[in-house]
Amino acid sequence: MLPEAEVRALMRAEHEDPFAVLGPHETDEGLRVRALLPGAKSVTVMQSGSGWPLAQLDRKPGSDLFAGLVPASQARLGYHFHVDWGSHSSLIDDPYRFPMVLGATDAWLLAEGTHLRPYEPLGAHLREIDGVRGVAFAVWAPNARRVSVVGDFNQWDGRRHMMRLRRECGVWEIFAPQVAAGDSYEFEILSAGGRVTRKADPFGFSARLRPDTASVVQPLPPPARMPPDRGPANARSAPISIYEVHLGSWRRKNNGRDWLDYRELADTLVPYARDMGFTHIELLPVSEHPFDGSWGYQPIGLYAPTSRFGTPGDFRAFVEAAHAAGLGVILDWVPAHFPTDSHGLAQFDGSALYEYADPREGFHADWRTLVFNYARTEVRNYLVGNALYWLERYGVDGLRVDAVASMLYRDYSRPAGEWVPNAHGGRENLEAIDFLRRMNHVVGTECPGAITIAEESTSFAGVTRPPGQGGLGFHYKWNMGWMNDTLRYAGLDPVHRRHHHREITFGLTYAHSENFVLPLSHDEVVHGKGSMIGRMPGDPWQKFAGLRNLYGYFWAYPGKKLLFMGGEFAQWAEWNAERGLDWHLLEQPSHQGIRRLVRDLNNVYRHFPALHELDCEPQGFEWICHDDADQSVFAFVRRAADGGCVVAACNFTPVVRHGYRLGMPLAGAYREIINTDHAIYGGSGLGNGILETQAIPWHGRAQSMSLTLPALCTLMWVLA
């Protein structure tokens, strides 16, 4: 029999190599089978095929360890246990008779940190081994003394499924027979210091809704490649107008008490966004997260669509519905940090495994979160694999990477003396930069047509330059400078705008230094900033006119577009994630007018290549008038690759400009395609219809025309 010390270690779930003693083992006496079955009264070994008893196992006195000699030739054909529990009996398979779960190649690639799809071997996977169905569990925890998988299937008892350590890659594994889809589970981890914790699966494909913390066995979603038309729809020459949405507060049901689920959102949100003319829907993070108030930006389950709105299959149905409607789906993705919740990645195996150990590197004071340790190959591999997972397994079009600036700089939001310089003494986080380049390279090569978008608020060079050319490799970057300048300008009393003219013109000095998305995002309507309509100065009429003017300028300006939900109909209230949008406002003509304008702007933006085709190229933009500060007027030309053009003029004062002369790029008749002061949008109805140019030089051009610029209005023209 086993030495007493090993028996005690098994009983206390402290044995570091349970596979060395449990299950079948060749001895000088023959094949000995040992089983640790707490609560069992008696255990009989039965042959799997015939069901014949092979041996009665003896209990080690004072323990729940059973052992006995078993006919080797019959046991090798497969066996299970008949267990008498006193009140009932059951047939169970011995998890310690099955072979290793990880193949040699997987173990090697995981150790090397080059496994492109680590979610395939790690986590919980439905398998059939030797004719027995169950789940293969595998988790990276190299510094743990012992790891068990626990769940309803074993009474959450860490002694019943203690796992095998694959020392070559630091992964613990076990095949658990009879475990099935829908079963809850966690990993029980004994740290080197003797502390026992329970952790959700870092690779769990589904999770219980908070406050529950368990992961849920779920089949790996089959590949879901993007439809072939999606790649061209994501290109920088394509019209990209993004509707940014928080699923929990777009609409609610049952008098605002309950969320819509993914399938209900597919039936409501998708057709709404399509009717509004948007090309993409961007979702605030859908990865599982424990705290509603984080809006998903502090995820626990990076591989699990949040159970708040349904199952992984339901989420997949939402993506498919969006694609069927011609809409792309972009997910906000958070590889910058993670929360400190005890069931998450923090101190996962009792050590700083996923995070930097030094709090000067690994703790975000602003968000009270932990920073991923980008220096570890396994951590980079975990994150790169997660990017591929959403793109390949759910077929989403792209990822908007959150808080990139916080990743790039070691001194981000840290006072002097509270950050650690890089190896060269600088402030850049070289490991994070390397991770972002690798992630973007892998996405670009493995998922052609998919896009990544950086929320990056600094002047870091080359964010959208390919990694091979020294850039980070993103396809697009949020233009935070444009957003800040524009909203500050739009919020000024018009009488003061003449003194801030440069806040509009300055953006064109760098507008083509990156491939930009212009973001009017959720960040601009929370934390006391108010709503978009609330930012506008003046009386109610001026507020609505000012917002229409801003939106016209926004859609005419070079760059892809992003508008947060509620902005399309001028919600008055600041966004509140705890309730639905104020849809009742659409009963009022002024709000309905804003929504109609946004729909028309989207349709014009998509229809005229000059407004999108060269968004990211300097030849797509040309000033006509940028120096009329006294009247706060701006005018410019947007061009397409074939030379076609759209002329835009913006009047940012509440004064009508009659007889305003504007130089035009070509001679001919021009017709208005957008007039934000049109009566159908709630404006005064002033306009120009079709105007002919005259051979009067103006603004450095041979042709010009005299027009009416309505108050607080943007106009757009094309050759008739």
Annotate 588-631 with three-state secondary structure. CHHHHHHHHHHHHHHHHHHHCHHHCCCCCCHHHEEEEEEEEHHH
Neighbour tally for 203: CB within 10 Å? 27
CB contact at 8 A, 242 and 563: yes
Distance CA 273, CA 247 (A): 13
Q: Is 30 helix (H, G, I), strand (E, B) or coil?
A: strand
Residues 6+ apart with CB under 8 A from 369: 298, 337, 338, 339, 340, 363
Alpha helices in 250-300, H assignment, sequence order: 262-275
Q: What are phi and psi of 184, to 5 degrees?
A: -85, 150
List the one residue out of 33, 32, 27, 71 whose CA is nearest residue 52. Answer: 71
Distance CA 713, CA 683 (A): 9
| Distance, CA of 438 to chain centre | 17
Q: Any catalytic annotation for residue 455?
A: yes
Could you say which of 93, 244, 378, 455 is catalytic? 455
Residues composing the chain:
720
**Torsion sign over Cα 379, 382, 388, 390:** negative
Distance CA 225, CA 395 (A): 5
CB contact at 8 A, 36 and 83: no
Residues 6+ apart with CB under 8 A from 190: 13, 14, 144, 145, 146, 147, 158, 196, 350
Element (H, E) at 65: strand 65-70
List the one residue out of 306, 317, 302, 484 whose CA is nearest residue 401. Answer: 302
Token pair belonging to 225: 């490649």
Distance CA 197, CA 53 (A): 39
Q: Is 162 helix (H, G, I), strand (E, B) or coil?
A: strand
| Burial of 224 from C-beta contacts in 10 A (0-12 / 13-18 / 19+) | middle
Strand locations in 235-394 (E):
241-245, 252-253, 258-259, 280-283, 287-288, 301-305, 328-333, 337-338, 363-364, 369-371
Cis peptide leading into 211, omega within 30 of 0? yes
Could you say which of 188, 288, 402, 600 is catalytic? 402
CB contact at 8 A, 662 and 704: yes
CB contact at 8 A, 518 and 484: no
Fill in the amino acid letter for 250: W
Alpha helices in 337-462, H assignment, sequence order: 359-362, 377-393, 404-408, 430-446
Strand order in the sheet with 633-639: 621-628, 633-639, 645-651, 713-719, 669-675, 690-692
Query: Would you give the DSSP letter of residue 161?
Result: S
* Terminal alpha carbon distance of the chain: 96
Distance CA 156, CA 141 (A): 19
Tokens 């006391």 belong to which residue?
528
CB contact at 8 A, 83 and 37: yes
CB contact at 8 A, 185 and 217: yes
Q: Any catalytic annotation for residue 402?
A: yes
CB contact at 8 A, 90 and 58: no
Pairing outcome for strands 476-478 and 516-520? parallel
Q: Measured at the alpha carbon of residue 689, what is the angle toward residues 650 and 533, in degrees to the nearest 5? A: 40
Distance CA 430, CA 374 (A): 9
Token pair belonging to 473: 């490799």
Positions marked active-site: 402, 455
